Amino acid sequence: MRSPGRFSAEAKGRHGRGGTWVLPLFLLSPALALLLGVVAYPICRAVWLSFHRFEILRPDLSQFVGLDHYRDLLTDPVLRIALANSGLWVAGVVCFQFLGGLIGALILNQRFPGRAAIRGLALIPWATPSVLVALMWTWMLDGNYGLVNDLLVKAKILSRFQPWLAQPWSALPGVILADVWQGVPFFAVMLLAALQAIPEDLFEAARIDGASPGRVLRHVTLPLLLPTILLTVMLRVIWTANYMDLIMIMTGGGPGYSSLTVPLYAYYTAYKRLDFGSGATIAIVQVLVLAAVMVFYLRQLRKNEVMVQ
């Protein structure tokens, strides 16, 4: 049997002679080809499209227009509405999903009869297809005979039915509610897994030192959950910013542009108006905004890590 030292020395030797990258490259090539095909090519294509007026059925008539699409977007009032809606949508969805998930994880981490069954059932919203979630909530929030209205009127919270998805002020919150319902289990499961990884000794030591449950949560649970929280929030922000199925089915971005988000605007521009150049430009704007948010977030993350250390 070779010792690790001998193996590594041999590897260094081969590296030094050149040609040692052939085998690793060969082994990586399927993954590399996949990445180039499904990630790099579409990104390059989108950038190319954003500089062209592209006729999908007559590519021969496509024209290079430089920065025209970007210039048009600077003065586009609909993009400003869509950006504001996207911000509200991501912030609303991620905050409430996180809070719901944290409460859910803390409850599911307790010992109570039927815990295993309830942990399984709690995953149902996450496992339900988006189209079904959208249709279900559309009818539950319906302004004429929706269940939500019925319950609120019977509980005397409302005097009459409200068209939740047909009013500019309530359409986006209505869709956020549906997505929060669907996404809470994701946070709950991730945080529950992290909670279970915290050694019981730490809780016990805190309790022996006389810490109240609130102080245990603040000084033991949350700091140890922080890496998982930061990672799941980052993933969720990216997914939510790109997610448009629910909005498209529940409100179509309406009434008017009240619930129109950036990806939905890009989709409508590309596929309904057949303006693929402008659609790609809107998508690139979304990528740039999201990248800026992520860079800021990762910097904060690094600062936190330094502070923890």
Partner 1 sequence: MPAPRRFRICCLVVAALAVLFVPGGFTPLHAQTPTVVHYWLWLDDPTAPMFDSLVKEFNASHPGIKVEYQLVPLSEYHDKVVTALAAGSGPDAGRFKDWWLGEFVKLNALEPLTPLIGKWPGRAEIIENLWETGKIMSSGPVFMLPHQFITFYLYYRKDWFAAAGLKPPTTFDDFLVAAKKLTDPTKNQYGFGLRGGAGGQDQWLAFFSAAGGRLVDGQGKVILNNEQGVKANQWYIDLFRTLKVAPPSAPTDAYAQCLGAFQAGTTAMFAHHVGSSVMVTQKPGADSVGVVPIPAADPKKPATMVTMAGNVVFAGSKQKEAAFTFISWLSEANATDKWSSSREGQLPSVKSVSKLPRYTNNPFFKVSLDSANFAIAWPPLPGVGYVSAQGWQANMQRALVGQISSKDMLDEIARALQR
Which one-letter amino acid corresponds to residue 105? A
**Residue closest to 97 by CA, chosen among 191, 216, 203:** 191
Which residue among 24, 272, 306, 308 contacts partner 1 (CB under 8 A)? 272
Count of other CB atoms within 10 angstroms of residue 48: 14
For the bound state, the minimum distance from the C-beta of residue 72 to partner 1, rounded and expressed in Å, comes to 13
Interior/surface letters 228-243, b for 16+ CB within 10 angstroms, e for the rest: bbbebbbebbeebbbb
User: Among the candidate windows 82-90, 122-130, 185-193, 268-276, which touches partner 1 by CB under 8 A?
Assistant: 268-276
Return the residue matching tokens 């080809």: 33
212 Cα distance to chain centroid: 35
**Residue 14 structure tokens:** 């081969």
Which residue among 168, 193, 223, 295 contacts partner 1 (CB under 8 A)? 168
User: Among the candidate windows 157-165, 186-194, 204-212, 283-291, which touches partner 1 by CB under 8 A?
Assistant: 157-165
For the bound state, the minimum distance from the C-beta of residue 213 to partner 1, rounded and expressed in Å, comes to 45
Return the residue matching tokens 């289990």: 185
Q: Which is nearer to partner 1, 171 or 184 (CB)?
A: 171
Does 142 contact partner 1 by CB under 8 A? yes
What residues between 20 and 59 interact with partner 1 by CB under 8 A? 55-59
Distance in angstroms (rounded) separating the CA atoms of residues 282 and 165:
25
Which residue among 122, 140, 148, 171 contacts partner 1 (CB under 8 A)? 171
Give me the residues that bind partner 1 (CB under 8 A), please.
Answer: 55-59, 142-145, 160-163, 165-168, 171, 251-258, 260, 268, 271-274
